[in-house]
Amino acid sequence: MLDFIENLLGIPAPLLFGQLLLGLINGAFYAMLSLGLAVIFGLLNIINFTHGAQFMMGAFVAWMLLAWGGLGYWWALLIAPLIVGATGVVIERLMISRLYKLDHLYGLLLTFGIGLMIEGVFRNEFGSSGLPYRIPAELSGAWDLGFMFMPVYRGWVVVFSLVICLATWIVIEKTRLGAYLRAATENAALVQAFGVNVPRMITLTYGAGVALAALAGVLAAPIYSVNPQMGTNLIIVVFAVVVIGGMGSILGSVITGFGLGIIEGLTKVFWPEASATVIFVIMAIVLLARPAGLFGRA
């Protein structure tokens, strides 16, 4: 089988599978981040430009918990999203909530500014070089899958993010809370008339979306070095992912995220020079063929 692949494609199988795995991991982050963006956009009608900075904050809070508080990875997985989500709640209450009656573009400009501030503060505090974060002992090592060595942590990231995406989907599509959320997305005034506290729901939704970004940040901390710029470049790619998928459907975001991660990984194998631009090219093609996005409603 392996020989067959190597003969057919002319590339070593470990390289192919290694890049596929990296692609899957990137896809996991694309999926989780675009999921958060879609949830926030659905209710607040703003694109959360701070999302990248909040992803970075998640990684940094994990690092701080370990370095300053002695709390390890598993605690960070729980606490960091809560802390960063709480800052999101404050940001929404203090600033974003003042813009709902204005053009949506102001929300984008505001969150961009907040993102700049957060990134600048962290760069002052921690420099740009990046801090290491060790893989927890339970997840270190690698499995021998026969055709490749699979680092346990990377497998964990893919599985865990799939679980989180699925859980988000269940909450939004199958629970009473999710029903309120979907109803408010369609018609906030009507839902409020039924006695639901829509402003609080909006605040908590923003907090939850931000917490999702922070959770992705904690997952990313042992893989990438923890540095202030880790979120910004990622979030621009995630914007392209969101445009490709359309923000209409939760499962659509997840499928698009993972799919594009894999495509990016494969591009690294077959045409490394194009790997940085392939997602943007796909975005252009999708816009020409289906302007609303693959899963979007026109």
Partner 1 sequence: MASETTAGAIAPVTRDESGIWGFSSAQLAALGVLLIFLGVAPFFLYPVFLMKLLCFALFACAFNLLIGYVGLLSFGHAAYFGMGGYIAGYTAKAYGFTPELAVLTGAAVAGVQGWVFGWIAIRRQGIYFAMITLAMAQMIYFVCVQAPFTGGEDGIQAIPRGALFGSVSMASDMSMYWFVAGIFLAGFLMIHRIIHSPYGQVLKAIRENEPRATSLGYRTDDYKLVAFILSATLAGVAGGVKSLVFGIATLTDVHWSMSGEVVLMTLVGGLGTVFGPVVGAAVIVTMQNYLAEMGAWVTVIQGAIFVTVVLAFRRGIVGEIAHLFRVKL
Residues that bind partner 1 (CB under 8 A): 41, 45-47, 95, 98-106, 108-110, 112-121, 123-124, 188, 232, 236-237, 239-240, 242-243, 273, 276-277, 280-281, 283-284, 287-288, 291
Name which of 219 and 241 has its Cβ closer to partner 1.
Answer: 241
Minimum CB separation of residue 24 from partner 1 in Å reads 22
* Nearby residues of 227 by Cβ (< 8 Å), 6 or more positions away: 56, 126, 128, 129, 130, 131
Minimum CB separation of residue 39 from partner 1 in Å reads 15
Minimum CB separation of residue 92 from partner 1 in Å reads 13
Of 39, 31, 35, 77, which is closest to residue 58 (Cα–Cα)? 77
Name which of 116 and 251 has its Cβ closer to partner 1.
Answer: 116
Q: Is 102 helix (H, G, I), strand (E, B) or coil?
A: coil
Q: How far apart are CA 235 and CA 105, in angstroms?
A: 17
Name which of 76 and 184 has its Cβ closer to partner 1.
Answer: 184
Q: How far apart are CA 49 and CA 116, in angstroms?
A: 10
Name which of 31 and 164 has its Cβ closer to partner 1.
Answer: 31
Token reading at 15: 């390289």
Neighbours of 281 (CB within 10 A): 12
Of 280, 287, 252, 253, which is closest to residue 264 (Cα–Cα)? 280
Please list the alpha-helical segments (H only) found in the chain. 2-9, 13-44, 51-69, 73-94, 104-126, 152-174, 176-186, 188-193, 198-220, 232-245, 250-270, 278-289
Minimum CB separation of residue 46 from partner 1 in Å reads 8
Minimum CB separation of residue 237 from partner 1 in Å reads 8
Name which of 112 and 156 has its Cβ closer to partner 1.
Answer: 112
Name which of 102 and 159 has its Cβ closer to partner 1.
Answer: 102
Of 252, 182, 205, which is closest to residue 36 (Cα–Cα)? 205
Name which of 45 and 225 has its Cβ closer to partner 1.
Answer: 45
Minimum CB separation of residue 140 from partner 1 in Å reads 33
Token reading at 128: 């740009």
Name which of 158 and 234 has its Cβ closer to partner 1.
Answer: 234
Minimum CB separation of residue 20 from partner 1 in Å reads 22
* Nearby residues of 287 by Cβ (< 8 Å), 6 or more positions away: 243
Minimum CB separation of residue 162 from partner 1 in Å reads 25
